[in-house]
Structure 1
Amino acid sequence: MKLSRTKKYVAGLYCRLSKDDGNSVESMSIWSQKVMLKQFAESNSIAIYDYYVDDGYSGTNFERPSFKKMITDIENGKINCVITKDLSRLGRNYLQSGAYIEMYFPQKNIRYIAITDGIDTLNSNQNDIMPFKNILNEMYAKDTSKKVKSAIQSRMREGTYIGSKAPFGYLKDPDNKRRLIIDEKTKPIIELIYKLCLEGKGTQLISQELMKRKIPRPSAFVENAEKLYGLTEENKYQWSHRMVLNVLRDPVYCGNMARNKRPTLSFKNSKRMYIPKSDYIYAKDTHEGIVSEEIWEQVQTMIDKRKCNNKKGLYYDNIFQGLVRCPKCGYALTPKTDYRLKKKELIDFVHFSCSTYKKYGVNACSSHRIEARDLYNIVLEDIQYHGNIALSAKEDFVEKIIEKIEVEKIDEGKELSNKLELKKNQLAELDRSYEQLYEDRLEGNITERNFNLMNVSISKKQDKLIEEIKVLEGDIEVSFETEDNYKKFMNNISKYAKIKSLNRYILNQIIDKIYVYDKEEIDGQISQKVEIHYKFIGKLN
């Protein structure tokens, strides 16, 4: 293949090797690809900018670190030529490979060469066969994917453990990585979870008991858990009911395996899908169980009996979604439907409680429980009340709102103004630092390399401060739009003065958020505070 040398080319040499290609094939190895690409570039007077190596990455998608780095260098104008051993090294998805070769590379004036396929985009007459080769490469990937998947499923049916790490409670056998052995360190935790379940405790109570006893969660036993899962001393002992349920539902703890629970959509799409339990791959007596099969079956029966089966086919439409919050932790109050109650209307089956409390118990937050019926009535009555005042006693209502807004906005405006002044002072200090840096460079007191590094650092800080100043100035402007805000609120609330029922649209038009406090006893009576924050003006007393 004779190449034109009229233009100076700087190449990125791209190498890729998938696990499915096999490292034993010397002609396909990373080392041999590097040698071939280097020799070709040198013999054709093409300058080498860098090697981009993706070792162990499939060609069916382009989410590869070195490939993405190469694209970044193309965008930054560092290379104008890409060379691969063949088309399949670039990728095995013919649509995406074609998009890069026929659209992206030409748009960026990038010359692409696939050595053994005889492809050079500089010579258009050589590229007629290229789309067909890309299709063949994808067909090869599809066939390989089928074979690999079939082999893996066959191993699953045989009871061979296939997974990067062992399930909680087990270790991989040092003598046979495809076999599980009991982890004596975590075995007591599994036994305790099953024991508590047999005593009649639900998953929520079990998780709270584990936190009370300061028992570390499963991720605490994983190496580098701090980096992988963000594990800290604060969340180390936080169990959720889902963690407990996973332990109770997994047959691995009685010596059996259920695999292939979430297969990928296709060889081109790594997204995992949910499938029915009947499609799982089951294997019995694959390893020693922590609990007996009889105990495991008993636990499954107990969990199934605890379910609140919706036999009537009822569904609660949560019109308060995204609005109801816990004033203590700030997280949402979520609905819980108990179909075992003997009620006539659907709303009476439902109550709201703090999602943090549901997950982590009383040590994290309190329940803030409120019946859905009570919440609905309180909000409806409050909207009707303020809406009627807005219609009948508009002048007095307006004066009270203006007075309230002005007091709050003055305080808010002062705080924002102080922040703005601080940011402007910081920006002025950076500007002085930049001037000094420029003078040092002119006088030769600093090297060009250090000047460039410091220049980039200061510029980033300046850009960030300028953006923060713009945001603060906008917030200050908004904070003093008192008249406009109360007019918007008056127009909003008066429209709904005569409503008889609530829906999502009404709530999202006039309400910003709702805080539900815990019930408390005052003078022998139980009361509960519900704080409604309206859009434009906040809460009203």
Structure 2
Amino acid sequence: MSKITAMYIRLSMEDEDVSLNQKEESNSVSSQRELLEAFIGNHSELKDTKVQEYCDDGFTGTKFERPGYMKLMEDVRADKISCIVVKDLSRLGRDYIEVGSLLEQILPLYQVRVIAVNDNYDSDNYDGSTGGMNVAFKNLIYMLYSRDLSNKVSSAMHTRILKGENISGQLRYGYVKDPNDKHKIIVDPEAAEVVKLIFELTAQGKSKTEVANYLNAQGIDTPSAYKKRKGSRNFFHAVEVKSLWSTSSIRDILNDEVYLGKLIWNKTKKRIGSNNTSSYVPKDEWM
């Protein structure tokens, strides 16, 4: 069985121009694809091979749990791939330790060639190594760039929060984005009636379990079922099951300060690195 030449493409928020709030065309999925296809077509040892694309659109390079990347590595371990072609090494990831391990240990083990077009990197040009300090330095620069850009994004978000703008893509049940202003949220009348009902039943002395049972008996959609019915793209259930109201879902709504007209940000901070660990922020630093 002939092996695959893999084109790996990745685009994420790290490629976003913070000031213009738009993604640079040079890093777009389509332009990456065109660049890689042109490169493969101009190299005789690659153009006659079977080419397969692996793509992660909207996934950060500081994490490696990306569907396209994981499928790529699955095929590497299955000995299906002979060469991986990327726009630059930052497409593989922005953690220089992880990318270094990938280039120095994992891919050589499976005899997989790696080409980073814009970095002028080809692992076949290095005998017994993968570029040494030159590649290590580039990977470090990519990670530092990611951290710097993360700080810029955080600063821009901080400014928007202080102006009272919404920055979250996931809105609480009962709210929707204003069609005339994507940074403003407004009440969703249909879902808001259910939220009001939950608070009214609780005020009458009913327990959370009783409230959940009542909503289920009335056939009222849960928040996830409601979003799916409304055509939300952010619905992640792979299996078709009827969702039911539960004690915890009622508790979450009753305890959420958003229903008091408050939006709270900066409760946690995430450290960029191999584990992307989160830590809680002191309450006096919340916004």
TM class, shorter-chain normalised?
Answer: 0.7 to 0.9
Give the match for residue 221 of structure 1: 226
Give the match for residue 280 of structure 1: 286
Give the match for residue 136 of structure 1: 141
Distance, in Å, in 2 between the alignment partners of 1:148 and 1:15 is: 23
CA contact (8 A) 1:52 1:70 kept: yes
Distance, in Å, in 2 between the alignment partners of 1:217 and 1:153 is: 32
Give the match for residue 413 of structure 1: none
TM-score by length of 1: 0.45
1:158-307 paired onto structure 2 within 5 Å: 158-211=163-216, 214-223=219-228, 228=237, 232=241, 235-236=243-244, 238-240=245-247, 242-261=248-267, 263-268=268-273, 269-270=275-276, 272-275=278-281, 277-281=283-287
CA contact (8 A) 1:219 1:229 kept: no
Deviation at 1:214, TM superposition (A): 4.9
1:296-445 paired onto structure 2 within 5 Å: none
Aligned pair in 2 of structure 1 residues 127, 196: CA closer, same or farther (>3 Å)?
same
Deviation at 1:102, TM superposition (A): 0.5
Distance, in Å, in 2 between the alignment partners of 1:257 and 1:144 is: 25
Structure 2 residue matching 1:155: 3-state secondary structure: helix
Tell me if 1:127 matches 2:131.
Answer: yes
**Could you list the runs of 5+ residues in structure 1 that have no partner in the other structure?**
1-7, 282-541
Deviation at 1:169, TM superposition (A): 1.8
Distance, in Å, in 2 between the alignment partners of 1:232 and 1:75 is: 34
Distance, in Å, in 2 between the alignment partners of 1:229 and 1:108 is: 33
Q: Higher relative CO (CA 8 A, sep ≥ 6), structure 1 or 2? A: 2
Deviation at 1:10, TM superposition (A): 5.4
Give the match for residue 111 of structure 1: 113
Larger mean CA deviation between 139-148 and 52-61 belongs to: 52-61
**Could you list the runs of 5+ residues in structure 2 that have no partner in the other structure?**
17-21
CA contact (8 A) 2:12 2:59 kept: yes
| Aligned pair partner of 2:9 in 5, 15, 20 | 15
Structure 2 residue matching 1:46: 3-state secondary structure: helix
Distance, in Å, in 1 between the alignment partners of 2:7 and 2:236 is: 33
Deviation at 1:204, TM superposition (A): 4.2
Aligned pair in 2 of structure 1 residues 104, 221: CA closer, same or farther (>3 Å)?
same
Distance, in Å, in 2 between the alignment partners of 1:16 and 1:231 is: 30
Structure 1 residue matching 2:264: 3-state secondary structure: strand
Distance, in Å, in 1 between the alignment partners of 2:218 and 2:135 is: 65
Q: Percent identity?
A: 33
Aligned pair in 2 of structure 1 residues 275, 209: CA closer, same or farther (>3 Å)?
farther
Distance, in Å, in 1 between the alignment partners of 2:30 and 2:216 is: 52
Deviation digits for residues 319-340 of structure 1 (CA, Å, limit 9, x no counterpart): xxxxxxxxxxxxxxxxxxxxxx
Distance, in Å, in 2 between the alignment partners of 1:82 and 1:227 is: 30
1:70-109 paired onto structure 2 within 5 Å: 70-109=72-111
Distance, in Å, in 1 between the alignment partners of 2:75 and 2:13 is: 26
Distance, in Å, in 2 between the alignment partners of 1:83 and 1:220 is: 41
Distance, in Å, in 2 between the alignment partners of 1:105 and 1:46 is: 19
Distance, in Å, in 2 between the alignment partners of 1:186 and 1:246 is: 15
CA contact (8 A) 2:9 2:55 kept: yes
* Letter of the 1:37 counterpart: L
CA contact (8 A) 1:13 1:37 kept: yes
Taking only aligned residues, the RMSD between alpha carbons, in angstroms, comes to: 3.0
CA contact (8 A) 2:3 2:80 kept: no
Aligned pair in 2 of structure 1 residues 26, 20: CA closer, same or farther (>3 Å)?
same
Deviation at 1:13, TM superposition (A): 2.2
* Letter of the 2:78 counterpart: N
Give the match for residue 57 of structure 2: 55
Deviation at 1:79, TM superposition (A): 2.2
Aligned length: 270
Distance, in Å, in 1 between the alignment partners of 2:148 and 2:262 is: 31
TM-score by length of 2: 0.80
Distance, in Å, in 1 between the alignment partners of 2:217 and 2:282 is: 35
Deviation digits for residues 251-301 of structure 1 (CA, Å, limit 9, x no counterpart): 22232222334x3532334555555544432xxxxxxxxxxxxxxxxxxxx
Deviation at 1:190, TM superposition (A): 2.1
Distance, in Å, in 2 between the alignment partners of 1:152 and 1:272 is: 18
* Letter of the 1:239 counterpart: S
Bigger-Rg structure (1/2): 1
Deviation at 1:60, TM superposition (A): 1.2
Deviation at 1:142, TM superposition (A): 0.9
Distance, in Å, in 2 between the alignment partners of 1:227 and 1:74 is: 27
* Letter of the 1:86 counterpart: D
Distance, in Å, in 2 between the alignment partners of 1:10 and 1:232 is: 38
CA contact (8 A) 2:4 2:52 kept: no
CA contact (8 A) 1:264 1:270 kept: no
Give the match for residue 19 of structure 2: none
